[in-house]
Amino acid sequence: MAHRSCLSAFLLLLLALEFVTVMGVTLPQCRGIVASDVDRVQFALNLEFFEAEFFLFGALGKGVDDFEPSFAQGGPPPVGARIANLDPTIRSIIEEFGYQEIGHLRSIIRTVGGIPRPLLNLTVQAFTEVVNLATNTTLSPPFDPYANSLNFLLASYVIPYVGLVGYVGTIPNLVSSNNRALVASLLGVEAGQDAVIRALLYQRANEIVIPYGLTVANFTNHISELRNRLAMCGVKDEGLIVPLQLGAENRTTSNILSADANSLSYSRTPTEILRILYGSGNESRPGGFLPNGGSGRIAMTFLP
Ligand SMILES: *[C@@H]1O[C@H](CO)[C@@H](O)[C@H](O)[C@H]1NC(C)=O
Ligand SMILES: *[C@@H]1O[C@H](CO)[C@@H](O)[C@H](O)[C@H]1NC(C)=O
Ligand SMILES: *[C@@H]1O[C@H](CO)[C@@H](O)[C@H](O)[C@H]1NC(C)=O
Ligand SMILES: *[C@@H]1O[C@H](CO)[C@@H](O)[C@H](O)[C@H]1NC(C)=O
Ligand SMILES: *[C@@H]1O[C@H](CO)[C@@H](O)[C@H](O)[C@H]1NC(C)=O
């Protein structure tokens, strides 16, 4: 019960916050942070490690340490990641995405240096909790991201998009053109991966996710709403089927790509991203996929 009323309070707060944003004031929690290029680019490693481990384990049953053991810089291996029960097409797509993340890790480490891999909680339970929170129910049986292709794609909807909007938020703040070039090139591929995941889900938008009685579109809408709620900076995240006023030029209910009124990508700050990754709505309260908090100077600044 406490949980429920807490959520409703959250929603009221969000409404109040959006009002303030509309009045032309940027909320304190939505303002960007002061940080160096190196810190900003290294912050992205938290998301790149997440994606690399989730995709590689999902497709192949092995992770970053099996390909590039030096990248983790002493950080612990992920907990709970495992091979998923994927059909051959999805497996080869996810395998490719996993290798792409290794390239991203390598490029970031070469350009600005690495940071220890954070402890990643990729257990079934960590995903179950997010999906339960998003759908405001206790799904039974618990949602298992590794059970089949559809569940894995829905789980892939949860975090990679956050990396994409994070890169959009990072580029304008970078001083060095080398770093801007790197992040623009990372953004290109992350956006491509997001588009593929969303297009695959869109083809199945009206399908019921067995045995939950909710459609694929319902799941994406709920997950997007949860991320908006946790990040606390208005609507920057939209599901696959939306009201007309969120569609392209207010003319579509299909929403294969999530973007603003002019179809420009949304952007997020590091604190918004931490609030989502921790599942706590608080950049100082680790949990969720990063039980010990993020790695690197930016994430560590907020740790108690
Ligand atoms: C991972 O998350 C689940 C669900 O919250 C939790 O029960 C488990 O203890 C977590 N594992 C670690 C290593 O933090
Ligand atoms: C969650 O569901 C309960 C009823 O089960 C409802 O009272 C509450 O308003 C819902 N909360 C949100 C955030 O949708
Ligand atoms: C699921 O989606 C359908 C159609 O988009 C909508 O009418 C329904 O309210 C949604 N259900 C939930 C529980 O979100
Ligand atoms: C779409 O609707 C929003 C309000 O919901 C409005 O701000 C925007 O100008 C509209 N866009 C177009 C192209 O009509
Ligand atoms: C966020 O968490 C920190 C550490 O637990 C706490 O001190 C702070 O009050 C929390 N902030 C909000 C807005 O709840």
**Secondary structure letter of residue 209 according to DSSP:** E
Ligand closest to Cα of 3 equals 2
**What CATH number is attached to the domain comprising 164?**
1.20.1260
To test the ligand 5 pocket, which listed residue (229, 284, 302) has its Cβ within 8 A of the most ligand atoms?
284
The residue whose CB lies within 8 Å of the most ligand 3 atoms, and thus the one to mutate among 202, 218, 253, is 218
In a domain, residue 232? The reply is no
Q: For strand 208-209 and strand 214-215, is the pairing parallel, antiparallel, or unpaired?
A: antiparallel
Give the span between the Cα atoms of 252 and 299, in whole angstroms. Answer: 38
Identify the DSSP state of 148.
S
- Whether 217 is covered by a domain: the verdict is no
Q: Is 1 domain-assigned?
A: no
> Are the C-beta atoms of 64 and 52 separated by less than 8 Å?
yes
Cβ contact 154:201 at 8 Å: yes
Q: How far is the CA of 251 from the centre of ligand 4 (A)?
A: 10
Distance 144 CA to ligand 1 centre (A): 14
Residue whose structure tokens are 């709920």: 222
30 CA from centroid of ligand 3 (Å): 30
Q: How far is the CA of 253 from the centre of ligand 4 (A)?
A: 14
CA 229 to CA 247: how far, in whole Å? 20
pLDDT digits (tens, 9 = 90+) for 224-259: 999 999 999 999 999 999 999 999 999 999 999 999
Number of structural domains (the chain) is 1
pLDDT for 50-98, tens place per residue?
999 999 999 999 999 999 999 999 999 999 999 999 999 999 999 999 9
Domain assignment present for residue 206? The answer is no
In sequence order, what are the residues at sequence separation of 6 or more whose Cβ sits closer than 8 angstroms to the Cβ of residue 28? none
Q: Could you tell me if 207 and 222 are in contact, meaning their C-beta atoms sit under 8 angstroms apart? A: no
Alpha carbon 91 to its chain's center:
20
Tell me how far CA of residue 191 lies from CA of 163, 208, 239, 240, 258, in angstroms.
Answer: 9, 26, 16, 15, 10
Instruction: Establish if 123 belongs to a structural domain.
Output: yes
- CA 173 to ligand 3 center in whole angstroms: 39
Q: Is any ligand 4 atom within 6 A of the Cβ of residue 250? A: yes
DSSP-derived secondary structure letter, 214: E
In the chain, the percentage of residues whose pLDDT exceeds 90 is 90
Predicted TM-score (pTM) of this structure: 0.92
What is the tens place of the pLDDT at every residue in 211-231? Answer: 999 999 999 999 999 999 999
3-state secondary structure of 220: helix
Ligand 5 geometric centre to CA of 227 (Å): 18
Q: Using CA positions, which residue lies closest to atom 8 of ligand 3?
A: 218
Q: Which two tokens stand for residue 300?
A: 């560590």
At 241 the three-state DSSP class reads strand
- What phi and psi values does residue 40 have, to the nearest 5 degrees? -65, -45
Please give the angle made by the CA atoms of 33, 38 and 40, to the nearest 5 degrees.
Answer: 35
Testing ligand 2's pocket by substitution, the residue of 7, 13, 221, 226 carrying the most ligand atoms inside 8 A of its CB is 7
38 in a structural domain: yes
Q: What is the tens place of the pLDDT at every residue in 151-196?
A: 999 999 998 899 999 999 999 999 999 999 999 999 999 999 999 9
Domain that holds residue 108: 33-194+267-301
**In a domain? residue 158:** yes
Sequence-distant (6+) residues with CB within 8 A of 160 are 47, 51, 190, 193, 194, 197
Residue 287 belongs to some domain of the structure: yes
